[in-house]
């Protein structure tokens, strides 16, 4: 019966932690925390309301500690579930850092920790969470694309130095300058002025060089990068949709917990019957 009572107690806190009201209240506190941090950048506000702003920061810290405690209690007898999430580890680290000796006395470090609390807003917004997970998932396939882009920039940089090094040494004087120039061309910012400078001296070579690099570098490489990002975002959205509909692994875990609770009830009933006798 003790296991059942513990399960019921943790289930109540789990419902609270997952409720829309609780999550919206935490989002509101995070936004208020951000506003207070912004107000603290004004000297006049600190001179007139410094003590009140510090009291608000203390209140925000207390609320975040309570929120963390609610989510920990919601895990019941399996607190390791809480630490399986990277966002939960992030929240726990921010709160735990406040209790490290010397942190509260360090104004700069304390301000950074308060600023990181605002970053928790990214976790609370589903669309932003999907974007972050999609960007993280795209890193591995994008690594190969980065290598290809670097090789392309190096090859074109050597050709640009050979063709235009004497014409425009400021931008093409060595491989380093040529590579920086090509990276700026990839953004399509200011390439026309770079082209005009070398076109007067070598019209055909500059035309072929710039057109081929812009086509390969901008329209091919960047579009491939966009394709990788879009593919990763679609995968993450599908995972979020499955999770919202009920993740299989999570369902198996819940069924296992329910089975353990039923076994505990059966054992308690059997012990009670044996105690009473026939």
Query: Do 2-124 and 137-239 come out as alike in CATH topology?
Result: no
pTM of the complete model: 0.55
| 188 CB-side CA count, 13 A | 8
Q: Which segment, 9-13, 61-65, 116-120, 131-135, is predicted with the most confidence on average?
A: 61-65
Q: Note the CATH number of domain 137-239.
A: 1.10.287.70
Fold of 2-124: 1.20.120
Q: How confident is the model at residue 178 (pLDDT cuts 50, 70, 90)?
A: very high
Closest CA to 142 of 270, 232, 219: 232
Give the pLDDT confidence of 115-135 residue by residue, as tens digits: 877 777 766 666 666 676 777
Q: Tell whether the model's pLDDT for residue 2 goes beyond 50.
A: no
Give the pLDDT confidence of 17-54 residue by residue, as tens digits: 888 888 888 888 888 988 988 898 888 888 888 889 88
Q: Tell whether the model's pLDDT for residue 246 goes beyond 70.
A: no
Q: How confident is the model at residue 208 (pLDDT cuts 50, 70, 90)?
A: very high
Q: What is the pLDDT of residue 159?
A: 93
Tokens representing 129 are 């969470």
Name the residue ranges covered by the structural domains of the chain. Answer: 2-124, 137-239
What is the C-alpha separation between 199 and 197, in angstroms, rounded? 6
């Amino acid at each position: 019966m003790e296991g059942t009572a513990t399960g019921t107690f943790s289930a109540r806190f789990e419902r609270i932690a997952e409720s829309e009201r609780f999550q919206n209240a935490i989002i509101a506190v995070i936004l208020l925390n951000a506003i207070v941090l912004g107000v603290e950048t004004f000297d006049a506000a600190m001179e007139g309301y410094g003590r009140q702003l510090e009291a608000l920061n203390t209140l925000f810290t207390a609320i975040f500690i309570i929120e963390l405690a609610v989510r920990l209690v919601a895990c019941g007898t399996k607190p390791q579930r809480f630490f399986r999430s990277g966002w939960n580890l992030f929240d726990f680290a921010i709160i735990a850092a406040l209790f490290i000796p010397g942190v509260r006395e360090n104004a700069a470090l304390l301000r950074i920790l308060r600023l990181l609390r605002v970053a928790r807003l990214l976790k609370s917004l589903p669309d932003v969470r999907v974007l972050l997970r999609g960007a993280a998932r795209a890193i591995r396939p994008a690594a190969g694309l980065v290598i290809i882009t670097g090789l392309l920039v190096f090859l074109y940089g050597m050709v640009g130095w050979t063709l235009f090094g004497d014409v425009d040494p400021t931008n093409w004087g060595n491989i380093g300058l040529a590579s920086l120039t090509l990276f700026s061309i990839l953004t399509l910012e200011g390439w026309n002025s770079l082209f005009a400078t070398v076109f007067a001296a070598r019209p055909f070579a500059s035309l072929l060089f710039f057109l081929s690099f812009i086509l390969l570098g901008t329209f091919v490489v960047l579009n491939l990068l966009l394709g990788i990002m879009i593919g990763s975002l679609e995968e993450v959205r599908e995972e979020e949709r499955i999770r919202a509909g009920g993740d299989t692994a999570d369902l198996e875990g819940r069924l296992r917990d329910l089975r353990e609770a039923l076994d505990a009830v059966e054992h308690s009933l059997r012990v009670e019957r044996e105690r009473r006798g026939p």
